[in-house]
Structure 1
Amino acid sequence: MRLLMLSIVALAMTGCASNVVTDYNSSVVFGNYTSWAFVPGTESSFVSLDGNRVRSAIERELNRKALLQVPEAEAGLLVSWQIVPEDRLEQTGLGLGFGFGHGNFGWALSAPPPVREIKEGKLVVELADSKSKQVVWRAASRRYLNENQSPETRRALIDELVAEMFTKYPPGLD
């Protein structure tokens, strides 16, 4: 029974862990912003597949916040996003070891498990004041996009992350 209760508490705690981290300028009155536009030139001459997914998700979430998408010259907020590449080491397989001895003393040798490098991307979204060009709100994902994910998985992950990011906008309402 005790093990069951510990398992339930552990699952509840992991369910409460956020997939995104946000930061913001506490002196900004976010209610003053009514319009937005994407920052021009944030991508190369081609919009990537993930770029289309991110842009669509951001547009959807800002529309839900009743913010109007307008040309850059008329916007109160400028929206920028990027997928920041990160390298991560992942253990694959098991380490091997052997030892001998008895009681409180003994000797052992072990080999660590094999490690491989994985390239991933962390989604970062920033909102900047169009007049001051200062970032006023920033969100970064704790979950990563990687090349092994299917297009459906990538779209679902991007939609989930962007939706969670904008549940924390405007700040102070959560």
Structure 2
Amino acid sequence: MRLILASLFLMVLTGCASNVVTDYDSNTVFGNYGSWAFAPKGEGESFTSLDGGRIKSAVERELNRKSMRKVDQEEADLLVTWQIVEEERLERSGVGLGFGFGTGNFGWGLASAPPVREVQEGKLVVELVDTDTDRVVWRAASRRYLNENQTTESRRELIDEIVADMFEKYPPGA
């Protein structure tokens, strides 16, 4: 009975785990920020990707919900920058095979491990930069991943959910 209760307790705790990790400068007064703009594109970036457009749309929606004004870069209190950090993960696909034989306390067996493949995934990271100091004052990173197997609609929904979770924790302490 104790084992069952402990298992249920662990499942509840796991279900409460956040899908987003945030960090911020504790010396920053976030109430002083009222406007924002997207940071300029880096060198060699001449276009916005499909996911980039989805991310920009989601960020804009969430900052509007926080009553922050989108302005030109020169007038902004905060610059929003984002990136998809690619990571490789090993994934087991299928099942292993095995067979064995024997009698009594003696036997032989042979087994093979399931096939493993590398999967490329992307983790979304959003940062807010103070335009006066050029320092990151708030950062959010997702624990959920985008991967190449997702459909267009599931990618859009996942990005919307991730960005909403991120800005649920902005401003800190609110």
TM-score, normalising length from structure 2? 0.87
1:30 aligned partner: 30
The one-letter code of the counterpart of 1:93 is G
Counterpart of 2:172 in structure 1 is 171
Shift of 1:95: 2.2
**How far apart are 1:44 and its partner, in Å?**
2.0
**Equivalent residues in 2 for 1:51-130, closer than 5 Å:** 51-98=52-99, 109-130=110-131
Tell me by how many angstroms 1:104 deviates.
Answer: 8.8
Pair 1:68–1:104, CA change in 2 (3 A) = farther
Gaps of 5+ in 2: none
Determine helix, strand or coil for the equivalent of 1:66. Answer: coil
Superposition misfits of 4+ residues, deviation over 6 angstroms:
1-4, 100-107
Q: What does residue 146 of structure 1 align with?
A: 147
Q: Cα RMSD (Å) of the superposition?
A: 2.5
Query: C-alpha distance in 2, partners of 1:98/1:131?
Result: 68
Shift in Å at residue 46 of structure 1? 1.6
Q: Closer, same or farther in 2 for the Cα pair 1:105/1:30, shift >3 Å?
A: farther
For 2:155 and 2:93, locate their aligned partners in 1 and report how far apart those are by CA, in whole Å.
Answer: 23
Q: Which amino acid aligns with 2:29?
A: V
Partners of 1:51 and 1:85 in 2: how far apart?
A: 14
Output one character per residue of 1:55-82: Cα deviation in whole Å (capped at 9) or x when no partner. Answer: 0000000011111111111111110001
1:14 aligns with 2:7: no
| TM-score, with structure 1 as normaliser | 0.87
Q: Distance in 1 between matches of 2:25 and 2:45?
A: 29
Unaligned runs of 5+ in 1: none
In the alignment of these two chains, the number of paired residues is 173
CA distance in 2, matches of 1:151, 1:104: 56
Q: Give 3-state SS (helix, strand or coil) of 1:79's partner.
A: strand
Cα distance change of structure 1 residues 73 and 97 upon mapping to structure 2, 3 Å threshold: same
CA distance in 2, matches of 1:61, 1:87: 29
1:13 maps to a residue whose letter is L
Q: Find the aligned partners of 1:79 and 1:138 in 2 and give their Cα distance.
A: 10
